[in-house]
Structure 1
Amino acid sequence: MYLFLIKFQQVSHYQERTEKDCLNCGTIVEGLYCHKCGQENVVPKETFWGLLTHFVYDITHFDGKFFSTVKYLVSKPGFLSLEFIKGRRASYLHPIRMYVFTSAFFFVIFFTLYNAKTLVPSEKEKNTQQREKLLAAKENLQENFSTGLDSSERIASSKVILDLDRELAILDKKRGSLTEEPMIEYDSAKAEGLNFGKTSLNYKSVLAYKRMQLELPKDKRDGWIKKAFMTRILAAVEAGEKQGERAFVTGFINNLMHSFPKMLFVSLPLFALLLHLLYGRRKDLLYSDHAVFTIHLYCATFILLLWIFGLEYLYDISGWLIVEIVRLVSVFGIFHYLYKGMRRFYGQSRGKTIAKFLLLNMLSFFMMVLLLTIFTMISASQISPDGSH
């Protein structure tokens, strides 16, 4: 069977050349592949059928590696990282390719489920949501009212129903006066005013900031980095005044959410550095080995988060309590995965692993808070006066 698979793979590739010089580097080839550059010694021209079968082989070969890698990645934390540093790599997907694939798939799902418009509802949407809650409460009270309540409970329920009716009337009146996106009056004369405070954050507009910079001596003016940052921040403030609170907040959250892939990518080498510092006495491990472990950890986290998103969606449509319990357990499962991975990959005792696990989580928390702060400031500065980003 093994020989048949080898033969099938060779047949599914291009036709082998009779000449033995590699077309890529000129090396004399002994066999089907060049031992110097790895290129197949095959005829450059190929039929459509040969091209199609080669494509199918590459896809199924990738799928086979991907699913076997995912199986070990999820079920045996730290195992793939150990395999990689031991040189056993041919049977599994490369960590970098695994990260690119899983992160891309994760963020496609993430941005589909969560976006700025759903996280920041308009006044009309808030009104509608509040009205639905009041109606549900009223229907529930009316249902209980007709089923076996004593006189005192009936009186109390009838008063609550009247209160709910008043609230609904107020909401309906407010709903009729709401536009889809209320705008805030923008006072351009006020925005152009100067406020010569002690700090540059007291400026009310980009124009005011630029005027003040021109008035200052050259040695007192802000550097180009601070000037660029202040210009973007003040432009964002003006955008908020022009568009209204929701439009500004929506643009800010949209920018911040789309910064998450970059933030995670930046955090990856920093997390690996924390591991390198915690296990500094392990001279047999290089920084790149810690990076491989971190990449596998991030890939597994993406997969576990997708599982959690799926459970959350299932709970929303079913309301089953068991689904919510499994979801909460899965959240803690991410931390359990990290502990088991550290235990297997680094091979230390349970006590040392727990101590380093707690320290790693504490340090990584501060690291993520710092990165979130930096990317939040960048997101705010990237909102232009016209509301685009």
Structure 2
Amino acid sequence: MSVESLDVSEKHHELQPQVVQDKSCENCGAPLDGQFCAKCGQEITSNIRYFGTVILHLLDDIFSFDSRASRTLWPLIAKPGFLTQKYFEGKRVHYVPPLRLYLFISIIFFLSLKFFTNFGAGSVPVISAETMQQNLANKIVELHSSEADVDKQASIARLQILLEQVSQNKRIPLQNQAIKLAQLELKQLSSGEGLSKEEKKKYDELQNNVETLKTKDSLITVSNQEDGTLRFDFLSEEMNTKLTEQVTMLKNKAEIAFSSDPSKLIEQAIGKLPQLMFVLLPVFALLLKVMYLFSNRLYMEHLTVALHSHSFIFLAILLLELLSEGQDFIVETSAFAADMMQYLAIILLTWLPVYLFIMQRRIYQQGYFFTSIKFVVIASIYLMLMLFTAFIAFIWGLTSI
């Protein structure tokens, strides 16, 4: 190699660092040496990108589960408090961050909850009142034209009562129950084999429902006055009137939903739970802060405990759902495997409260006695909060149907 070429190469290497140093941060103007500014921390890459690229980066930030997932999920389910302690110690790179972990597991959990929950409205579908009236009338005429006997006379009497209940009752809950009962009655008369065991059970249940509804003006009563209204002294007359109207509307929606097809209400209520649970997380962290006021831990540390404990609860319930579905699927092909799944479900269900107790003791470093007392108090208060959250989800679901 010639001296001239060596000289050119050396000049090239001397100029290369100078090119890097010429680059400056668009935010503060400091020289750059790498992908981030050493002075203000801004990334070199521009945030002005194609919309699709932004969405992909956002999804990657939330759901990116690389090799850290395998190091995170097993301790989450088997080592109480391990992830939280590592996070407090500053060892965070090897594990999925608490918030990302919670978001990922909670989204999968609530999606599976909608999938695994049985939204069926029952074995008897509801048809229109007009169609049922016509079907009942036709069946009565058919029975009258056939050879008379005691059983047929009794059937005609039952059909006439049902026809009256369907046609004259304008209360939707009672009408729906009467329509369902009439469907089973017609099926019983038309089928030579009669009703199945489940259908007979449903038939008796519908009869009881109809009799109960006939004696009550409403299944749901929400009032504090003798006239059935809801009034409070600290509200104005106009506000009390609006409150009564809103409560009456929600009550009617609830009666119709429960008596016809509760699946829509259940779907709507479950759909509201993720938002409500996300609001409940900081409340749970505040509860931990109060119960461990002298633990010298910051609120964000208690929030980390809340994120990890809820992630475990959702993951455990998700596994229980999968075991239950798997057991139902293979029970006919392999009884042994189904029994093993049942035992695993029992173990996991027992492990759930034990895990939370061990986690609480390891994180806050208190003895068994005080940990037990605080665990019971926290569980009791949080259970009431959960019931209140479920009630809010129910009311919110009613407003959406």
TM range (shorter): 0.5 to 0.7
Alpha-carbon separation, structure 1, partners of 2:30 and 2:293: 44
Counterpart of 1:221 in 2: which secondary structure? helix
8 Å CA contact retained: 1:17, 1:41? no
Aligned to 1:70: 73
1:85–1:200 CA distance, 2 compared to 1 (3 A): farther
Residue from 224, 234, 237 that aligns with 1:220: 237
Aligned to 2:11: none
8 Å CA contact retained: 1:65, 1:93? yes
Aligned to 1:29: 32
Counterpart of 2:193 in 1: which secondary structure? helix
1:18–1:314 CA distance, 2 compared to 1 (3 A): same
8 Å CA contact retained: 1:73, 1:300? yes
How many residues align? The count is: 284
8 Å CA contact retained: 1:32, 1:41? yes
Letter in 1 for 2:26: L
Structure number with greater Rg is: 2
TM-score (norm 1): 0.61
Aligned to 1:269: 282
Letter in 1 for 2:115: T
1:114–1:18 CA distance, 2 compared to 1 (3 A): farther
Alpha-carbon separation, structure 2, partners of 1:251 and 1:241: 13
Deviation digits for residues 268-314 of structure 1, max 9, x if unmatched? 122212211221121x2012211110101111112111211111111
Does residue 309 of structure 1 match 2:321?
yes
Residue from 194, 197, 200 that aligns with 1:170: 194
Letter in 1 for 2:311: C
Aligned to 1:333: 351
Residue from 370, 383, 388 that aligns with 1:370: 388
8 Å CA contact retained: 1:20, 1:41? no
Deviation digits for residues 299-333 of structure 1, max 9, x if unmatched? 11121112111111111122322211211221121
Alpha-carbon separation, structure 2, partners of 1:370 and 1:331: 23
Alpha-carbon separation, structure 1, partners of 2:224 and 2:352: 47
C-alpha deviation, 1:34, in angstroms? 1.3
Deviation digits for residues 17-47 of structure 1, max 9, x if unmatched? 563312344332244421244344469999x
1:379–1:201 CA distance, 2 compared to 1 (3 A): farther
Aligned to 1:114: 117
Query: Structure 1 regions of 5+ residues with no counterpart?
Result: 1-15, 47-53, 126-164, 179-183, 185-190, 192-196, 204-208, 210-217, 384-388
Aligned to 1:234: 248
Does residue 88 of structure 1 match 2:91?
yes
8 Å CA contact retained: 1:301, 1:334? yes
1:123–1:275 CA distance, 2 compared to 1 (3 A): same
Query: Structure 2 regions of 5+ residues with no counterpart?
Result: 1-18, 50-56, 127-187, 204-209, 211-216, 218-222, 332-337
